[in-house]
Chain A
Amino acid sequence: MSEETGGNAINPHTMSIIVTKGSLDWAYPPFILSTTAAAMGLDVTMFFTFYGLPLLLKKMDLKVTPLGNAAMKMPMMGGHMVMPNLVAAIPGVDAMASKMMKNLIKKNGVASIDELRELAVEAEVRLIGCQMTMDLFDYQLEDMIDGIEVGGAATYLEVATQSHINLFI
């Protein structure tokens, strides 16, 4: 306990992540980092809010959309292809792009989000669902996987004041 920190030295092996995005692609960074951090001995808390909250649903239905995503260059016919927005907006294209992405995930030995989430639960990563988002989008606790907590901004901030690494994804 040093004088500079007033006796409140933070354990360097602690991390929190605010998870705000729930598409198939954006679900990866928070789950990869939380599971790896837990494997490296860190205490990890994930706070799921807004579009990140559905990542706590028992049945996830993750999709990715090429619409408005100029950086999404899918490997195709030996090159990389960006889908024009006009094409990306056609019904069914999201489903096709999601299927393509899932195939790439499998082909490259990348874990599924279901698998990473299970590993996070197993590693005792603390999972907190945002109560306000649950009210806003009408989700019930019964819709969510077992073992999660529910809380708000103050709950997260208490965790953040005790965490060395705080990320917003």
Chain B
Amino acid sequence: MADKVLDAKGLNCPLPILKAKKALKDVPDGGTLEILATDPGAVADFQAFSRTTGNELIEHSEEGGVYKFLLRKTA
């Protein structure tokens, strides 16, 4: 169970990333944020976001057109 869940479904680039960054503020260090998105571009973008910021992308998956990302706040 993630510390916080962000529903970014229906939002397009760059809103899922911007909202995720904001939501990370409410996650304790070492805690996790789950993001739900429908923007296919978010897959590459969350990986790049993770590499650049150091927040670890623990897993990402897709089910029925909804992408799920789990980020660990490490930065």
User: Which residues of chain A have a CB within 8 Å of any CB of chain B?
Assistant: 32, 35-36, 39-41, 108-111, 119
Contact = CB atoms under 8 A, between A and B. Distances in A.
B42 to A, nearest CB: 11
Nearest to B15: A111
Contact of A36 (B11, B17, B39, B75): B17
Contacts of A36: 14, 17-18
B47 to A, nearest CB: 12
Contacts of B67: none
Contacts of A41: 52-53, 75
B10 interface: yes
Nearest to A120: B18
B58 interface: no
Q: Interface range on chain B: under 10, 10 to 19, 20 to 34, or 35 or more?
A: 10 to 19
6 contacts: A32-B14, A36-B14, A36-B18, A39-B18, A111-B18, A119-B18
Given A41-B75, A109-B12, A109-B39, A35 B53 contact: no
A119 B18 CA distance: 8
A20 B11 CA distance: 27
B10 A109 contact: yes
Contacts of B14: 32, 35-36, 39, 111
A148 to B, nearest CB: 21
A112 B17 CA distance: 16
Most buried by B among A39, A41, A110, A111: A39
